[in-house]
Amino acid sequence: RSALAESEREKIAAVTHEVARQTERLMDSAANDLVSLRGNKVVTGKSTPMDERVEEMRRLVNAYQMFDDISLYDSTGGLVKSTTDTNHPEPFEKTLWFKRALVEQRVITSRPHRVIGHEGLHLKVYIPLQIGGQSEDYVLRARLRFQAVWDLIDGVQIGESGQALLLDQWGTLIAARYKDRITRPMSSDVDLPFWKQTAGEVQLDGVNHYFHREIIRPSETQTGEAWVVACLRPEVELLSSVRRAVTIQTMIAIGALIGGFIGAIALTFLIPIPLLGSLIGACVGATLGAWGLELSGGRKMGESAKSGVGVRGKCLLLVERQIVQRQFTPFGAVQQRSGG
């Protein structure tokens, strides 16, 4: 059973690895979209007329599904032009990512966060640029949808109710089925939170879960911060899968044992194949009944050692009854064949 339990845990680890890989792929796709934006000379060029710049920004929003909108801000955070009619000011003194883009003169990507008036989470990318004839610096901000990552995490189902979580490096939930907990820290009553451990057990909503986690490096998230993918499955489900596997293996072993046993008797007494099949079925039923095994859940497996003693006797009794009822003796069978 311990080997089967370990096998179930390895399945969860494999799912976790694949979810982390797919998350990296989605963020890499977003990074490729950003390359098209950063390398677009019409949008970022110093001498591009403003009307042409805005028209190209709109074209990019329509061409790349990842972009929600693209806006141009002056150095104080005032909106200059945007592909959306909604004003989203980025005050210099209040937005860390905007400030860093100006001061460090490099592209800055925000962590996933909520946007007022919009569902889900978004990422914002800040690209510093200079416009010809202007003395001040500008910032091009693209807002990216996080929906693709949400859909990926939502779509993970392990067993009946197992699921995946995506957290930032501080344990804040950024993607999960718990939509009401998004952007909130996962609570932990232990000194070492579960998302900082490779694998183990954790209690969520009063239910014990087995979990496995993988870390997505900052270079892969494109945000400069690490993320954590954790896949969980209720412990009761995991144990149920183990019991079911044990039951199936036991049934196979019992079937092979009884089949060989009755097969030997069949050769001795020349029992026809149809009757042989019914005898095997009856013996398997008697065996399972004596051992208390059930394919649906394996709920009774405790008394096998005590009840198994009488299984062979029950099978012998069944075979003996069939032999007596049909008068299948070696001599009788030969006489019937020769007479027919």
Q: What is the mean pLDDT of the chain?
A: 75
Please answer whether residues 79 and 89 qualify as being in contact, where contact means their C-beta atoms are separated by less than 8 angstroms.
Answer: yes
What pLDDT does 330 receive? 47
In the chain, % of residues over pLDDT 90 = 18
Residue 155 per-residue DSSP state: T
Local confidence band at 340 (pLDDT 50, 70, 90 cut-offs): very low
Residue 142 C-beta-side C-alpha neighbours within 13 Å: 29
Please answer whether residues 304 and 246 qualify as being in contact, where contact means their C-beta atoms are separated by less than 8 angstroms.
Answer: no
Burial of 20 per CB tally in 10 Å (0-12, 13-18, 19+): buried
If one compares 95 and 54, the residue with the highest pLDDT of the two is 54
What pLDDT does 33 receive? 78
Local confidence band at 262 (pLDDT 50, 70, 90 cut-offs): low
DSSP letters along 35-80, please?
A: HHHHT-HHHH-TT--HHHHHHHHHHHHHH-TTEEEEEEEETTS-EE
- pLDDT tens digits along 301-312: 334 434 444 544
Least reliable range by pLDDT among 14-23, 192-201, 273-282: 273-282
Does residue 48 carry a pLDDT above 80? yes
At residue 234, the 3 state secondary structure works out as strand
Name the token pair of 151.
């859909």
Least reliable range by pLDDT among 19-23, 233-237, 258-262, 298-302: 298-302
Cα dist from 190 to 201, 202, 204, 233, 260, whole Å: 12, 10, 13, 20, 55
Name the token pair of 130.
């200079």
What pLDDT does 302 receive? 39
Mean pLDDT over residues 222-240, rounded? 85
Least reliable range by pLDDT among 242-251, 281-290, 308-317: 308-317
